[in-house]
Structure 1
Amino acid sequence: MAKKRNRSDETTFLGVKSNPFVFIPSLIIVIVLISITLFVGKPMSIWFAAIQKTVSHTVGWFYILLLNLLLFFALFLGYGKFGRVRIGGKNAIPEFSLKAWFAMLFSAGMGIGILFWSVAEPISHFNDNPLLRDTSTVVDRAKSAMGLTFLHWGIHVWALYAVVALALAYFTFNRKLPLTIRSLFQPLLGKAIYGKWGDTIDIISVVATLFGLATSLGLGVQQVNAGLGYLFGVENSVFVQILLIIAITAAATMSLVFGLDKGIKLVSEWNMRFAIIMLVFMLLVGPTIFLLKAFIQNIGHYTTVFFEQSMWTEAYQSVINKKSWQSSWTIFYWGWWISWSPFVGIFIARISKGRTFREFILGVLLVPTLFTFLWMTVFGGSALYQELLGNHAISEAVNNNVSTSIYYLLEQYPFASISSGLAIILVIGFFITSSDSGSFVVDTLTSGGRHDAPKGQKIFWASMEGAIAGVLLIGGGLVALQTAALLIAIPFAVLLLLICYSFYKALSEDFEN
């Protein structure tokens, strides 16, 4: 039987206290992967494209099924017999206010992505959408474009995060286990979670977190570069993006060193303030009445086609067309969100003590989803409005360089320079919160669940995140980022099914007792 480890089993490695059975293998895997990408060079981009196609074809259906199962399980947790269970016990009190809680979970859970894709995705679906017929009107194209965008950014994403986060919070604050992914398997593995099985689970979680996060950081830095090029004529190149990664990662590290309350919380709240300012600005200078009407109609369309599109696997189209539209969209998103789930799950669990299951599920599923839908409607809807008027400047920008799309949108409306500058600040802010939140999580995993990982370790993993993002950009750009998310998600997707069973088993045991 495996021996339970405690802090006396920790060693000092690279100047930081860690669990060496997780820290060292995780570091080796990351170094090997990024070294191969660097040494092989340009041919890696071809390999990344081929792997992306293969993974989407073979496991895409599983990702789609999994996300639907997790949604039903999340609703069961919140509105079934366990809904009144409180994280931390009956007398637990929330550590953070609702406002701070929403700000932190939203900044960690979405952040950079909604800025990168809020314009580019609706426009892309408007111009290329396999669900449309040849006889579809521009109105049909616009409605379907927003429906698919809502699918990729909607309730499925937050259900995934909610299940992982709620399970982690329960095992950590109610069962008093370390805040690591291995703890979720205690009902199945018993004391073996403190041995090699538990180490393997945490290693998978660390690597998934690092590469899933690197995908977002890579997208974010491309958009910062595009914004600086738009405003100040800065060259749009991988070299500039690497310099930006170094600079912004340094800022993220400073935030991380200040800790959860003074650093991450503060930046998250300011991010939300800037996001709301930008959202209101776009709503006012854009086609306001159209956007308000579109928000309601978009939600109606999303709910109407919800079951059909959420379970659509492109089975028949792929036979006829011999190509997969979903590989670059739905399957990529599901893989990206799955690879993010250890990171987002641990972070949300850490900030959610004191809330009931029902309050947690309602808050995590509903509030971020509605805010994201409003954001996508305001920015994506404003872009579609220009398309409906016959202005194709944004479509051209999307075709030429996806990361520039939001700046070309802002150019169509008043005060473009000011709003573009605000967009850059917001991307940098989300980059910082994603980076330091991710480092916080990796610190926790590699130090055996410590909540007080030393500063040296925080700096080390924040630097590694930036390095991975930079290497993926060098090795294949956007395709490399997408492929990394898809590949890393495969082992963790299997773990997610086991997590659901283990969590239900633990709740059943505790509820009956």
Structure 2
Amino acid sequence: MRTSRRKQTTIGAVFVVSVMVSALIVLWGGVAPTNFSVVTTRLFDYVVSHLSWFFLLAANLFLVFVVYLGMSRYGRIKLGKKNDRPDFGRLSWFAMMFQAGMGPSIIFWGLAEPLSHYVNVPFGLAGPGSEEAAGVAVQYSFFHWALHPWAIYATAGLAVAYFTHRKGEKALLSTIFRPLIGDRVDGPVGKTIDILAVLAVVFGIAVALGQAGLQITAGLGQTFGLPTVVLVQLVVLGLTTAAFMVSATTRIEHGIKWLANISMLIAPLLLVFYFVVGPTITQLNVFTEGVGNYLSNLVPMSFRLDAFSPNTEWLGSWTVFYWSWWIAWAPYVGMFMARISRGRSIREFVVATVVVPSVVSMIWIAVFGGAALQLARGGQASDIAKTVEQSPAAGMFVFIQEYPLPILLSIITLVVLWVFFVAGADAGTVVLGELSTGGSPNPTTWVRLLWGLLLAGVAAVLLVSGGLGALQKASVLIGTPFVIILVAICVAFSKTLAKENGSHSEESSSLSEEHSCSRPTESEGRVREALER
């Protein structure tokens, strides 16, 4: 077994360059954190002020693209060979995809974001703290966590799954571009695409790990009174890194699958508990009204910039940050989704990766965000909105204090968060190993462990250089070049699908003609009978 793994793992230019760049970033942030923060802030300000329009247009393109594929005749195409069968059951399949996509993040922001928008209303659409502000807060929270982010993931995931399982290409983003640039995908151009994909994955997961440090530390502070200083955040990060590196030494079927199943078992129990003991009718009303407001305002929200007086500060903190973060995560989540989706159809993939998780995300926001908004409006916990404004990571744990069994529930929430982060980072080492070693399906353990250390290093640098603000800026910067790659993936994938559909139509037509030509007409049949007599 060891010999076969060595043969499958190729250490080449992509691995060397991407490791060196990641290590240099860690070194830069560690040696000169102030300079690192100043440079990234300037680049971030430029991107938000000059390219917000591009992020919004691209996100809309990805949503339209995957919905069209799922609803069109292409939806019947299998992501694999004719006799391929799915490797995982539907529940495990969905659990792994959801935890890789945004499992821990929805816990972080599912409550904090509605409260943040309630105090600082998007685009000044309502007065802060008003009933209208609460409605807008839920509406924009749905907007940031439902269809668009999952469509971004599905764009990358569908393309990788199709080219890998159906066309037999290596599990690399560069191979998707073969219809556009031919064999140049095997040269410097393809290597550059894969290096950008690796760096996007590194920063995307590092941002998530940084949030793990922030939120778990905040939870420990609210629950046990521990300090929430950077040192404690780094200790939490170190323990999380140790856990996912241990998990990285196991196979997906053992490590990631079981972690995902555990997290997806406990999280729904928390959801049901807070739905039962919470303001149930309010939560149902929030979900129903929120879905209506979200769908009816989907197009205006998707294109809104306030063109003549753009609110770049709000856009950079929310919509542009989210879109760039999802884009940065796209190669990681997309490749992981592709890896576990052999044998599924395109339509099945779209439903499972866009529709179902969008509904789950909206339910989560309605239950937790709706209950938190009710507390903030009722004065029962008037400081909850102010607390979230100062420290979004603490929001969930301040909220828990208002319900029965706060210590127990806080511990359970901390465990769920930690398991989510461990499983997600473990999956990230798999994807980084594949991307950096020529598409190897089983990268060696030392490669995965090296990437685990670099992920932790980048996350630590971001925490030290500015906390949540630095995490958001890093996400926007790394998502900027990769959004162009995702747009090109749509073009290449569309071209290949059209060609395959055309060849199938020609094949069906020729078979039909052959069949009709081989069948004798009625007059020919009579002549043949007469001759035989």
Q: TM-score normalised to the size of structure 2?
A: 0.91
Q: Is 2:335 the partner of 1:335?
A: no
Map of 1:301 onto structure 2: 293
Q: Is 2:261 the partner of 1:272?
A: no
Tell me how far 1:46 sits from its aligned partner. 4.0
Tell me how far 1:359 sits from its aligned partner. 1.0
Q: 1:449 aligns with which of 434, 439, 446?
A: 439
Q: Report matched runs for 1:14-413 at 5 Å.
A: 17-133=9-125, 138-318=130-310, 323-390=312-379, 391-413=381-403
**Cα distance in 1 between the residues matched to 2:122 and 2:68:** 33
Structure whose alpha-carbon radius of gyration is higher? 2
Task: Tell me if structure 1 keeps the 8 A contact 2:10–2:440.
Answer: no
Amino acid across the alignment from 2:314:
W
Does 284-293 or 351-360 show the bigger shift? 284-293
Task: Tell me if structure 2 keeps the 8 A contact 1:52–1:482.
Answer: no
Tell me how far 1:11 sits from its aligned partner. 9.3
Map of 2:519 onto structure 1: none
Q: Is 2:418 the partner of 1:428?
A: yes
**Cα distance in 2 between the residues matched to 1:147 and 1:134:** 12
Equivalent residue of 1:18, what SS?
Answer: coil
Task: Tell me if structure 1 keeps the 8 A contact 2:129–2:377.
Answer: no
**Cα distance in 2 between the residues matched to 1:29 and 1:265:** 31
Map of 2:477 onto structure 1: 487
Q: TM-score normalised to the size of structure 1?
A: 0.94
Equivalent residue of 2:77, what SS?
Answer: coil
**Cα distance in 1 between the residues matched to 2:346 and 2:127:** 47
Q: Deviations over 1:382-441 (max 9, x none)?
A: 110011202322112112222111000111111111111111101101110110111110
Amino acid across the alignment from 1:178:
K
Unaligned runs of 5+ in 2: 504-533
Q: Report matched runs for 1:463-502 at 5 Å.
A: 463-502=453-492
Task: Tell me if structure 2 keeps the 8 A contact 1:119–1:376.
Answer: yes
Q: Is 2:419 the partner of 1:419?
A: no
**Cα distance in 1 between the residues matched to 2:293 and 2:126:** 20
Distance change in 2, residues 1:137/1:462 (3 Å) = closer
Task: Tell me if structure 2 keeps the 8 A contact 1:393–1:408.
Answer: no
Map of 1:5 onto structure 2: none
Amino acid across the alignment from 1:60:
S
**Cα distance in 2 between the residues matched to 1:500 and 1:510:** 15
Amino acid across the alignment from 1:346:
M
**Cα distance in 2 between the residues matched to 1:111 and 1:133:** 30
Task: Tell me if structure 2 keeps the 8 A contact 1:48–1:479.
Answer: no
Task: Tell me if structure 2 keeps the 8 A contact 1:336–1:489.
Answer: yes
Amino acid across the alignment from 1:350:
R
Tell me how far 1:134 sits from its aligned partner. 5.9
**Cα distance in 1 between the residues matched to 2:389 and 2:411:** 23
Distance change in 2, residues 1:11/1:263 (3 Å) = closer
Distance change in 2, residues 1:405/1:66 (3 Å) = same
Count the aligned residue pairs: 499
Task: Tell me if structure 1 keeps the 8 A contact 2:118–2:128.
Answer: no
Tell me how far 1:468 sits from its aligned partner. 0.9
Tell me how far 1:166 sits from its aligned partner. 0.6
Distance change in 2, residues 1:232/1:182 (3 Å) = same
Tell me how far 1:252 sits from its aligned partner. 0.7
Runs of 4+ aligned structure 1 residues displaced above 4 Å come to: 133-137
Equivalent residue of 1:96, what SS?
Answer: coil
**Cα distance in 2 between the residues matched to 1:228 and 1:214:** 21
Tell me how far 1:130 sits from its aligned partner. 3.5
Distance change in 2, residues 1:389/1:66 (3 Å) = same
Equivalent residue of 1:265, what SS?
Answer: helix
**Cα distance in 1 between the residues matched to 2:412 and 2:473:** 30
Does 330-339 or 38-47 show the bigger shift? 38-47
Equivalent residue of 1:131, what SS?
Answer: helix
**Cα distance in 1 between the residues matched to 2:31 and 2:501:** 54
**Cα distance in 2 between the residues matched to 1:134 and 1:387:** 16
Q: Deviations over 1:193-245 (max 9, x none)?
A: 11111111100000000001111110111111111112222221111111111
**Cα distance in 1 between the residues matched to 2:180 and 2:125:** 49
Q: Deviations over 1:100-154 (max 9, x none)?
A: 1110000000022111111111011001114345668722111100011111111
